[in-house]
């Protein structure tokens, strides 16, 4: 197996055992980027000299049995709304928004302290909203990798890097993970610091991760959350299935999720039909009001001077947010929080709520796709996971989403590990 094909946990274990050099791993990833990124455009900035210098230092430390942490020598990609000291932050926008930070975002500090090597910055949609990034889907270049964490998902899927960081305000980690056939995890709101990350909507922004397995995602999540999130023994879970979450899916996707649920039941899981709280009916509209109001508040100063340089979707969202009253914002936020409170007992009563991650496979490059299935759990601030679960008739990946109550990451990861084992998804995009 080539070094670039290794998942994060296996790479870390080999580095710890002395059978893999961090330099060898970084060189393999850089070679892979050189071979593929001209076509896929996952990366906006690659710091080859810096990554190799860090790898040499970490290799020396590993040889002396001085390991910084669980990510020692593992390369990561970072979405280009995260500040990384010495690397430009562009946020997918024009030069008016560019900066050269001298300090890492809080989560980057933690990753580096645990031994991670920042390989570079991955493409994002402008200001992490809906205007598509230049990145192509590694499975089929005419299709979107999703947004807004487009480059992070594509880079992990294309085996350019074993791990990448992204952010999710509505569906920007789980949807790209689903479209690109990798694992995506969005933890509880606030579990991972967003200090040093350009905001879209403070009440909804989450730092999330991409990996090639649940174990890989758990490895970096534990570092960023500064706690042990290792799941307990995997056992057949109690799953909930809500008809409301299947009704918007394309027939192929709805049938796929039902087929997966039946397979899980045959493997010992219990699958119970449930109904979501009444507030679900108004949740999507309310969450969007909160997003637009908070995005407008953050961008108001720059927007006054640079409105013409904003993309059409983010411009439309900010303009809508600038017209909202405080009363409308507060009413929407109250409804969002009411849904959170009402859905929590349902989530606690099951090991996970099962649904599609997206209503259909990745659409074409004119859009970043539909975040409807991810949005409720961003608005409620509860943890969710996307697992690749099969291939559509088009050959593009399909995915399931698992959701748990706030603060129950370890429980959710245990369920995800069980489901991942039963799904046995081994497909990868062709280089």
pLDDT digit string (tens) for 379-398? 999 999 999 999 999 999 99
- Residues acting as catalytic residues: 79, 148, 172
Q: How far apart are CA 317 and CA 129, in angstroms?
A: 9
394 assigned to some structural domain? no
At 192 the pLDDT is: 98
Domain boundary among 198, 225, 252: 225
- Tell me which residues of the chain have a pLDDT lower than 50: none
Domain boundary among 317, 333, 349: 333
Domain that holds residue 184: 3-225
Overall domain count for the chain? 2
CA neighbor of 26 nearest in space, from 64, 57, 69, 66 = 57
Q: How far apart are CA 377 and CA 399, in angstroms?
A: 16
Q: How far apart are CA 200 and CA 82, in angstroms?
A: 12
267 assigned to some structural domain? no
Q: How far apart are CA 161 and CA 51, in angstroms?
A: 12
Whether residue 211 is found in the same domain as residue 290: no
Whether residue 286 is found in the same domain as residue 147: no
Whether residue 30 is found in the same domain as residue 98: yes
String of DSSP letters for 156-182: HHTTS-SEEEEEESSSTTHHHHHHHTS
- Which phi and psi angles does 430 have, rounded to 5°? -75, 135
**Segment 79-128, tens digit of pLDDT:** 999 999 999 999 999 999 999 999 999 999 999 999 999 999 999 999 99
368 assigned to some structural domain? no
**Segment 206-228, tens digit of pLDDT:** 999 999 999 999 999 999 999 99
Tokens standing for residue 159: 């085996």
Domain boundary among 204, 225, 246: 225
| Residue 32 CB neighbour total at 10 angstroms | 20
At 219 the pLDDT is: 97
* 3-state percent breakdown (helix, strand, coil) of the chain, nearest 5: 45, 15, 40
Query: What residues contact residue 233 under an 8 Å CB cut-off, 6+ apart?
Result: 414
Tell me, what CATH number does 112's domain have? 3.90.1300.10
Report the alpha-carbon angle 300-302-303, nearest 5. 60
150 assigned to some structural domain? yes
422 assigned to some structural domain? no
3-state DSSP assignment of residue 270: strand
| Residue 19 CB neighbour total at 10 angstroms | 8
């Amino acid at each position: 197996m080539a070094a670039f094909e290794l998942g994060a946990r296996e790479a870390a274990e080999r580095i710890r055992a002395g059978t893999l050099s961090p330099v060898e791993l970084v060189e393999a990833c850089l070679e892979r980027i050189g071979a593929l990124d001209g076509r896929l455009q996952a990366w906006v900035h690659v710091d080859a000299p810096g990554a190799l210098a860090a790898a040499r230092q970490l290799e020396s430390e590993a040889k002396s049995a001085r390991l910084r942490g669980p990510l020692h020598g593992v390369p990561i990609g970072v979405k280009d709304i995260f500040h990384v000291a010495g690397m430009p932050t562009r946020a997918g926008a024009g030069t008016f928004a560019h900066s050269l930070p001298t300090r890492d975002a809080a989560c980057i500090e933690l990753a580096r302290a645990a031994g991670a090597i920042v390989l570079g910055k991955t493409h994002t949609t402008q200001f992490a909203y809906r205007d598509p990034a230049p990145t192509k889907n590694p499975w089929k270049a005419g299709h979107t990798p999703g947004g807004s964490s487009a480059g992070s998902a594509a880079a992990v899927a294309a085996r350019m890097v074993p791990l990448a960081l992204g952010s999710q305000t509505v569906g920007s980690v789980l949807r790209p993970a689903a479209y690109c056939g990798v694992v995506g995890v969005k933890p509880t709101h606030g579990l991972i610091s967003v200090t040093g990350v350009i905001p879209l909507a403070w009440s909804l922004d989450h730092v999330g991760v991409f990996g090639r397995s649940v174990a890989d995602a758990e490895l970096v999540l534990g570092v960023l959350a500064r706690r042990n999130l290792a799941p307990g023994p995997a056992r057949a879970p109690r799953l909930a299935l809500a008809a409301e979450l299947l009704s918007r899916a394309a027939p192929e996707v709805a049938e796929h999720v039902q087929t997966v649920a039946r397979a899980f039941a045959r493997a010992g899981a219990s699958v119970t039909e449930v109904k979501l709280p009444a507030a679900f009916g108004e949740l999507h509209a309310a969450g969007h009001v909160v997003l637009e109001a908070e995005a407008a508040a953050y961008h108001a100063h720059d927007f006054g001077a640079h409105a013409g340089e904003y993309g059409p979707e983010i411009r439309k969202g900010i303009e809508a947010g600038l017209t909202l009253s405080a009363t409308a914002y507060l009413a929407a936020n109250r409804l969002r929080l009411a849904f959170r409170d009402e859905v929590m007992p349902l989530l606690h009563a099951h090991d996970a709520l099962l649904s599609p991650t997206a209503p259909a496979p990745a659409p074409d490059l004119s859009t970043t796709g539909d975040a409807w299935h991810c949005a409720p759990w961003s608005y409620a601030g509860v943890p969710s996971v996307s697992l690749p679960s099969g291939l559509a008739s088009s050959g593009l990946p399909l995915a399931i989403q698992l959701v748990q109550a706030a603060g129950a990451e370890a429980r959710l990861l245990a369920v995800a590990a069980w489901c991942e084992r039963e799904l046995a998804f081994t497909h990868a995009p062709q280089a």
